[in-house]
Amino acid sequence: MKDFRNKVAVITGGASGIGLAVARALGREGAKLVIADIEQGALDKAVPALIVEGFEAEGVRTDVSDRNAIIALADRTWQRFGGCNVVFHNAGVAVFGPVQTMTDKDWKWSIDVNLWGPVHGTEVFLPRMLKDGQDGHMIFTASFAGIVPNRSLGPYNVTKAAVVALAESLHKDLRSTPLGASVLCPMRVTTAIDNSARNRPESLGGATAAQPYADAESGSLQGRTLSVEPVADLVLDAIRENRLYIHTHKEAKAFFDGRAAKISAAFDNAL
Ligand SMILES: NC(=O)c1ccc[n+]([C@@H]2O[C@H](COP(=O)([O-])OP(=O)(O)OC[C@H]3O[C@@H](n4cnc5c(N)ncnc54)[C@H](O)[C@@H]3O)[C@@H](O)[C@H]2O)c1
């Protein structure tokens, strides 16, 4: 996809942080926006602000872990805009603490939002997009934690590694189609992610079940904290060039190289 003018973009977790910044960047390029988010209050602020900025935008309250909600989101997108070119599978949550303290509810909430969200989004949107036959792109927000697991972020690491694998799989499988796929793998970016528990359902422990942020993501893997705007620009460039991996922090490469070297060295003991 080279041009976003009059293209339709659905952005999950689009009412805050990275999602909202990408929505704004796409809007500036002339895209029509569907902002999907679980947080009604955030949608009520973000969507009117986007409209005041001159963009065509609609908010759809969506829990990405609910397949029926994703179907309703797709239905609404086709009803309002007649199609969809970009899906940014971006909604995500983090639970902090060592693996040995994680409960089934910590795992379930993480997997429901971070993995089932993108899976439902892919399974529901992809056939409709392929049927329309237009240029398009599926883009996923994983994390650098999906490339190199970080301390005290077990369920997050696991789900984000799966999201990297989903994007890698799609990038291969979509080769003969007009669609591309990319995965965003940031280290720290200034957003409300540390306060993810605000959206944790009561049935999965509620807001108070969460451990406070314990310097986990910046603990073992040190790097800068970036603002959302340059990250959004990287996302648009990657879509234009159908680049699979979107890294945001140059300093992360040394951690990846360290992991790759350890995995490679372990082959010395292979049969
Ligand atoms: N901020 C960072 O340092 C960082 C680093 C790596 C990856 N990420 C990833 O970036 C993505 C965006 O997060 P962010 O950092 O902008 O944080 P954020 O909290 O500002 O934004 C996340 C958005 O997702 C929404 N959301 C949460 N649960 C949802 C659900 N079940 N259904 C629909 N929407 C839901 C929230 O309401 C919020 O608007 C996440 O996938 C996160 O894991 C963030």
The CATH number of residue 127's host domain is 3.40.50.720
Which of 60, 156, 160, 189 does the annotation list as catalytic?
156
pLDDT at res. 58 = 98
**Sheet of strand 86-89: strand arrangement:** 57-61, 32-37, 8-12, 86-89, 136-141, 179-185, 245-247
How does the average pLDDT of the chain come out, rounded?
95
Which structural domain, as residue segments, surrounds residue 241?
Answer: 8-269
Q: Is the dihedral of CA 112, 117, 119, 123 positive or negative?
A: positive
Catalytic residue check, 156: yes
Q: Mean pLDDT over residues 187-197, rounded?
A: 93
Cα-to-centroid distance, 269 and ligand 1 (Å): 40
Exposed (0-12), middle (13-18) or buried (19+): which is 99, by Cβ within 10 Å?
middle
In a domain, 3, yes or no: no
Cα-to-centroid distance, 65 and ligand 1 (Å): 13
Ligand 1 pocket at CB < 6 A: 12-13, 15-19, 37-39, 42, 62-65, 90-94, 113, 141, 143, 186, 188-189, 191-193, 196, 199
Among the residue ranges 153-157, 204-208, 230-234, 254-258, the one predicted with the least confidence is 204-208
Q: Is 82 left (phi over 0), alpha (psi -120 to 50) or beta?
A: left
pLDDT at res. 218 = 52
Cα-to-centroid distance, 109 and ligand 1 (Å): 13
The model's pTM is 0.97
In a domain, 1, yes or no: no
- Ligand 1, atom 32: closest residue by C-alpha: 63
Cα-to-centroid distance, 266 and ligand 1 (Å): 35
- Domain total of the chain: 1
Whole-angstrom CA distances from 200 to 39, 95, 121, 242 are 11, 10, 20, 34
pLDDT beyond 60 at 65:
yes
- Ligand 1, atom 37: closest residue by C-alpha: 39
Exposed (0-12), middle (13-18) or buried (19+): which is 159, by Cβ within 10 Å?
buried
In a domain, 149, yes or no: yes
Q: Mean pLDDT over residues 154-169, rounded?
A: 98
Closest ligand 1 atom to Cα of 113: 31
**pLDDT-based confidence at 214, cuts 50/70/90?**
low
